[in-house]
Homo-oligomer: A and B are copies of this chain.
Amino acid sequence: MTESKTGIKSLEDCLEKYIPKDELKEVKRILYGRSDERSLELPEETRKLAENINLELKGYSIPAASEELRKPRIVRIGAIQNAIVLPTTDPLDKQRDALYKRISEIIKVASTANVNIVCMQECWTMPFGFCTREKYPWCEFAEDAETGPTTSLLKKLAKAYNMVIVSSILERDSNHGDTIWNTTVVISNRGNYIGKHRKNHIPRVGDFNESTYYHEGNTGHPVFETDFGRIAINICYGRHHPQNWMMFGLNGAEIVFNPSATEGDLSEHLWGIEARNAAVANSYFTVAINRVGTEVYDHEFTSANGKPAHNDFGPFYGSSYVAAPNGHRTPGLSRTSDGLLITEVDLNLCRQVKDFWGFRMTQRLDVYAESFGKVNKLGYKPQVIRENDTDQEL
């Protein structure tokens, strides 16, 4: 279930393997902003535990300059990518329990490396069955954001490990007509539910016709204040919308997670671009997380691409990574295996980059608030200049 169609484990592995040392430095500088990434030394215990459960483990550090009036604000971010554990045809409770077990194990590994905030992929409690467009059994996975079984489980882990947990689930809102939402829950390191965010932008693309199940989110662009920084969540397809990223930044986010489920043919060439561009444009850290493996469904389905019906969805290409406000980034996790990426960052870098580049100072928000408002009117006439126009006034 976790095999890729293609042969390379990750882009970085391939570059390292073939390009001579001196040129590799240049390639990395141009591609990633650093001649060599800074590895993070992880405890032996962490390495052993990861090995025991067949988990790829990578650690990197993204430092900031020291300041005179502020202490460093060092935070360890854990990004988890994984394949589903059991076949999509198994009883739902067994499928979910197997994922609960797997993720609990991985979070434990993270805890031994003192990870402060951990985030899983989109809808981590289930296969990404929306490709089938069948309502059942997938809707059964939906649960209450605050009191459902997933949040209940994670509250215990969060408290036990003193860890903020960012958990993407399928939400069922029984107070509003049993509606379903694509939602991320944030749980504090004291084991309390802090709040939730609902996916703002919903795709209607090929296998991702998710509007069949849930609507555009109505929770705005919240930033969650935690002991380890101000965090926000841009769920999956929202990463294609720069203005979505921007609003989280305007609300003060220092780390924005992008829990995703996306596959190779569709978006692999965009994966390294979008979350990283957002980190730069908004002077915050981004954490892009994608599941791995191919999921096989009981009933065949079509993908709106003219090809015959089939039962497989994927492969999802993993490649989870962290990007920094200065445009540096970590290498990605593998394209094919479960993995935990631990990145130690100094949140002070966000404000340092703001001061350096000045994007917030120069962004002219008034212009865009007004322009977007005008564009949004039905009668909007685009600002088009034609040859021989005599009046080019705005």
Interface residues of A (CB under 8 A from B): 6-8, 11, 14-15, 18-20, 22-23, 26-27, 29-34, 186, 188, 190, 192, 194-195, 200-205, 216, 219-226, 230, 237, 240-243, 245-247, 250-252, 268-274, 276-277, 280-281, 327-328, 356-359, 361-373, 375-376, 382-389, 392, 394
- Cα separation A219 to B31 with both chains bound (whole Å): 34
Say how many copies of this protein the assembly contains.
2
- Asked if B241 and A243 make an inter-chain contact with CB atoms under 8 angstroms apart, the answer reads no
**B219, B247, B272: the one within 8 Å of A371 (CB):** B247
Contacts of A366 in B (CB 8 A): 376
Query: What residues on B are CB-neighbors of A368 within 8 Å?
Result: 243, 246-247, 372
Measured between beta carbons, the chain B residues less than 8 angstroms from A328 are 269
CA of A369 to CA of B271, assembled, Å: 27
Q: How far is the CA of A364 from the CA of B222 in the complex (A)?
A: 17
List 28 A-B residue pairs with CB atoms under 8 Å apart, sorted by A's residue number: A6-B26, A8-B27, A14-B19, A14-B26, A18-B18, A31-B272, A33-B270, A194-B387, A201-B363, A204-B361, A205-B356, A219-B394, A221-B383, A222-B385, A223-B383, A226-B387, A240-B280, A240-B281, A241-B281, A242-B242, A242-B277, A243-B246, A247-B375, A270-B327, A369-B369, A369-B373, A369-B376, A370-B373
CB distance from A234 to the nearest CB of B (A): 13
- With contacts A269-B31, A385-B223 known, is A203 near B362, CB below 8 A? yes
The reply to whether A242 and B243 form a contact with Cβ atoms under 8 Å apart is yes
